[in-house]
Amino acid sequence: MIEGILIGLTTALTFQNILMVMVGCFFGTIIGMLPGLGPMTAIALMIPITYGFDPATGLILMAGVYYGAVFGGSTSSILLNAPGVPGTVATSFDGYPMAQQGRAGKALAIAAWSSFAGGTLSAIYLLFMAPSLSKVSLSFRSPDYFALMILGLTAIAAFSSKGQFLKAMMMVVLGLMLASVGQDSLSDITRFTFDNMNLTDGISFVLVVMATFAMSEALTIILKRNDPTSAAKQVSLTELGSIKINKEERTKMYKTIPRSSVIGFLIGVLPGAGATIASFLAYGMERNVVSDEEKEKFGKGSVNGLSAPETANNAACSGSFVPMLTLGIPGSGTTAVMLGALLGFGVQPGPRLYMTNPEIFWSIIMSMYIGMVILLILNLPLIPYIARILAVPKNYLIPLILFFSVTGIYVMSFNNFDIYLMIGIAVVATFLRLYDFPMPPLILAFVLGGLMEENLRRSLLLSNGSWEFLWDRTLTACILATTILIVVWHIYKTFKRKN
Amino acid sequence: MNINTTKIISLLFFIFSAFYLYTAYQIQVFTFDENAPFNARTFPIYLGYAGLFFSGLKLILPDPTTIKVDHKNLEYKKTGILILIAIIYGATILKVGYFLTTSLFLFASYYFLGERRWILMFLLSFPFVAAFMYLLHGILDIYLRDPFLQSIGVMG
């Protein structure tokens, strides 16, 4: 492991990669602060830029954007009660009351230190857990992978759908259907191309991400007459107050941070869960373990109440890298985008990644530490200035998002058809968003579609067409039983609500 | 049965899944693969059935939370114009070239979204695109096709 850490440090500490972490954190913070534009949009917009780099640098840049976006989201939660990303909703429960009491600077400092500590601790957990899990996952067979993918897709549908499980499952199926367009990987037989040569190679992953996130979010903002930059305009006018944290507050944070980081990391590792669930769980748990006197302060500006979700959401971000790096199965929509980008680089994440491409595996982990330090340096003193940059009117912001989206596709294919297809998918996605059809399950399904078919193919061929492979191995059966439980539970809940 | 837009979307998805399933059955596979445990049409067929299953459930089961969208407050005109500009942008980018079409796309989008600060609009279109092109093409070595700039000898 020491050797790996050294490889990671050597890669991550090059001038170019440090610069990329800084650019990523800065850009991510800006996008994360804008309500409605989350880390997936930020990462999607960065994909064209990463084409110019090697895979390690590209992924380091995207990881920096991810952390920055989560971090930036907490700023608008605290100052405006307008969470930039769902993972920072719980931050507003106590962060916003603190800001209203004239302690906005302090709230930002607590959030920044908690995020830093949560991210750093979980990067340490990742450091120890990822290689061990990689070794364990080498024993996984095709049926286990197939079952894991089903579980991941079901879980993300269950957790990201805000009670709309069936809508999310429809999005999963749609994502898999889009992934099935083009040549079959084994026989080269074309499917669903309708004799259109442009579809022979399938639909590009970048196209789908740009369409369903960047472009459709921009169209939704215009359609709904939202102005995400209005939040930033208010931030620059806010009196922040002191950013110093006193001894009593520090003592409270020392107790909260370790337990919240463990919860955050473990939730992040679970497929489909992530920063949102982690932050709510950490907030709830913290409220249960503090003294009665402190409990009374929850919702009115409690230090523990702010520190817990902030620690947990950053820890969950690191945790979500575990399934992606060790199993090649992303646990969240954001890591699905990263997986897609990695596949685009020709790198196959999975248990062998840390043997075949140790520089990628370890440099991502190492860059997390560096990213945390940079975020701390960047966010504390620079928040008012970042907020001013953000006060760009939406009349400029929206065309720029569309421009980045089209550029991303243009540099990839030099093909008009892809641009039309992207606009078409974006229009459909915008309409679906209006009716609360979630997009992350679609992306995860699209990324996993090819791998899922491949593993099902191997399993069925090895078992001579028999579906017994689903319960032949205990591990496969356990994973599928969990999946069935999730499905049954959500359908039961729908019935129960009606009655 | 209370018909709402979510149900209509589910119905459309159901029809789409049925069409997908029909097309999946039409996929031509090699003769020796016809009776194989897994061929090119196996996975799509399962997907077609899954689509029918979930959209069918959504149609049959009650909708616990009806989503109401206030269409009067939606900005259809500007959104439509923006989509139209993007389509024109997509149609011309290959023939005219990246620099000119992108700059004009940005300029037109700012204008139709209500911006009237001409100098800022210009700065955030032509010079901005030039700088971005330099970053991609000049620094990151990402190829950008631009017949217009090539014809006037600016780009090699």
Tokens 């359908």 — which residue?
Answer: A491
Average per-residue pLDDT in chain B? 88
Closest-CA distance, B143 to chain A, in angstroms, reads 7
Looking at residue B73, the DSSP 8-state letter turns out to be G
- Interface contact A225-B73, CB threshold 8 A: yes
Is the separation of the CB atoms in B93 and A419 below 8 Å?
yes
**What's the pLDDT score for residue B137?**
80
What range does the domain containing A18 cover?
2-498
What residues of A are in contact with residue B76 (Cβ under 8 Å)? 223
Q: Is the pLDDT of residue A108 over 90?
A: no
Among A166, A192, A407, the residue with its CB nearest the CB of B23 is: A192
- Interface contact B44-A177, CB threshold 8 A: yes
Q: Whole-angstrom Cα distance, residue A151 to residue A157?
A: 10
Reported as a single tens digit per residue, the pLDDT across A364-402 is: 777 777 787 888 887 777 766 666 665 667 788 889 888
**What's the pLDDT score for residue A228?**
65
**What's the pLDDT score for residue A429?**
95
Closest-CA distance, B152 to chain A, in angstroms, reads 21
Stretch A18-42: mean pLDDT: 80
Cα–Cα–Cα angle for A413, A417, A421, nearest 5°?
105
Is the separation of the CB atoms in A79 and A355 below 8 Å?
no
What residues of A are in contact with residue B130 (Cβ under 8 Å)? none
Beta bridge partners of A191: A182
Beta bridge partners of A182: A191
3 state SS of A201: coil
Q: For chain A, give the percent of residues with pLDDT over 90.
A: 16
Among B61, B65, B143, the residue with its CB nearest the CB of A163 is: B65
What residues of A are in contact with residue B92 (Cβ under 8 Å)? none
Tokens 């500007």 — which residue?
Answer: B78
Reported as a single tens digit per residue, the pLDDT across A145-154 is: 898 889 888 8
Residue among A115, A153, A175 nearest A331 (CA): A153
Closest-CA distance, B19 to chain A, in angstroms, reads 11
- Interface contact B90-A406, CB threshold 8 A: yes
What is the phi/psi pair of residue B68, to 5°?
Answer: -110, 120
B18: number of Cβ within 10 Å: 14
Q: Is the pLDDT of residue A328 over 90?
A: no
Average per-residue pLDDT in chain A? 82
Closest-CA distance, A285 to chain B, in angstroms, reads 29
What residues of B are in contact with residue A394 (Cβ under 8 Å)? 113
Q: Whole-angstrom Cα distance, residue B6 to residue A136?
A: 43
3 state SS of A8: helix
Number of continuous H segments (helices) and E segments (strands) in chain B: 7, 0
- Percentage helix, strand, coil, to 5, in chain A? 80, 0, 20
Stretch B146-153: mean pLDDT: 82
Stretch A57-67: mean pLDDT: 84
Stretch A5-30: mean pLDDT: 84
Which residue does chain B place closest to A162, by CA atoms?
B65
Q: Whole-angstrom Cα distance, residue A439 to residue A215?
A: 12
Q: Which of A150, A170, A176, A466 to mutate to test the interface with B (most CBs of B within 10 A)?
A: A170
Distances (CA, A) of B112 to B13, B27, B80, B92, B121: 34, 45, 11, 19, 12
Letter for the amino acid at A54? D
Letter for the amino acid at B77? K
Beta bridge partners of A183: A190
3 state SS of B140: coil
Q: Is the pLDDT of residue A361 over 80?
A: no
What residues of B are in contact with residue A463 (Cβ under 8 Å)? 37
Label residues A420-437 b or e (16+ Cβ within 10 Å = b).
ebbbebbbebbbbbbbbb
What residues of B are in contact with residue A416 (Cβ under 8 Å)? 90-91, 93-94
What residues of B are in contact with residue A419 (Cβ under 8 Å)? 86, 89-90, 93
3 state SS of B50: helix
What is the phi/psi pair of residue A452, to 5°?
Answer: -65, -45
Confidence of residue B49 (pLDDT cuts 50, 70, 90): very high
Reported as a single tens digit per residue, the pLDDT across B93-102 is: 888 888 999 9
Q: Is the pLDDT of residue A288 over 70?
A: yes
Which residue does chain B place closest to A494, by CA atoms?
B64
Reported as a single tens digit per residue, the pLDDT across A417-440 is: 999 999 999 999 999 989 889 888
**What's the pLDDT score for residue B1?**
46
- Interface contact B82-A420, CB threshold 8 A: no
Tokens 């950053």 — which residue?
Answer: A314
Q: Is the pLDDT of residue A448 over 70?
A: yes
Which residue does chain A place closest to B25, by CA atoms?
A191
Closest-CA distance, B149 to chain A, in angstroms, reads 16
Letter for the amino acid at A20? M
- Interface contact B79-A219, CB threshold 8 A: yes
Q: Which of A146, A407, A421, A466 to mutate to test the interface with B (most CBs of B within 10 A)?
A: A407
Q: Is the pLDDT of residue B123 over 60?
A: yes
Confidence of residue A203 (pLDDT cuts 50, 70, 90): very high
Closest-CA distance, A308 to chain B, in angstroms, reads 31
Confidence of residue A497 (pLDDT cuts 50, 70, 90): low
Which residue pairs, CB below 8 angstroms and at least 24 apart, start in A290-293?
none
Of the two residues B17 and A346, the one the predictor is more confident about is B17
**What's the pLDDT score for residue A304?**
92
- Interface contact A434-B40, CB threshold 8 A: no
Which has the minimum average pLDDT: A65-69, B125-129, B138-142? Answer: B138-142
Closest-CA distance, B90 to chain A, in angstroms, reads 6
**What's the pLDDT score for residue A160?**
65
CA-based end-to-end distance of chain A = 56
- Interface contact B37-A191, CB threshold 8 A: no
Q: Whole-angstrom Cα distance, residue B8 to residue A429?
A: 16
Q: Is the pLDDT of residue B55 over 90?
A: yes
Of the two residues B38 and A135, the one the predictor is more confident about is B38
- Interface contact A184-B40, CB threshold 8 A: yes
A301 token code pair: 């500006």
What residues of B are in contact with residue A46 (Cβ under 8 Å)? none
Cα–Cα–Cα angle for A272, A303, A91, nearest 5°?
35
3 state SS of B113: coil
Reported as a single tens digit per residue, the pLDDT across A297-310 is: 888 889 999 999 99
Q: For chain B, give the percent of residues with pLDDT over 70.
A: 96
User: From its phi and psi, is residue B67 left (phi > 0), alpha (psi between -120 and 50) or beta?
Assistant: beta
- Interface contact A187-B29, CB threshold 8 A: yes
- Interface contact A423-B115, CB threshold 8 A: no
Q: Whole-angstrom Cα distance, residue A218 to residue A352?
A: 38
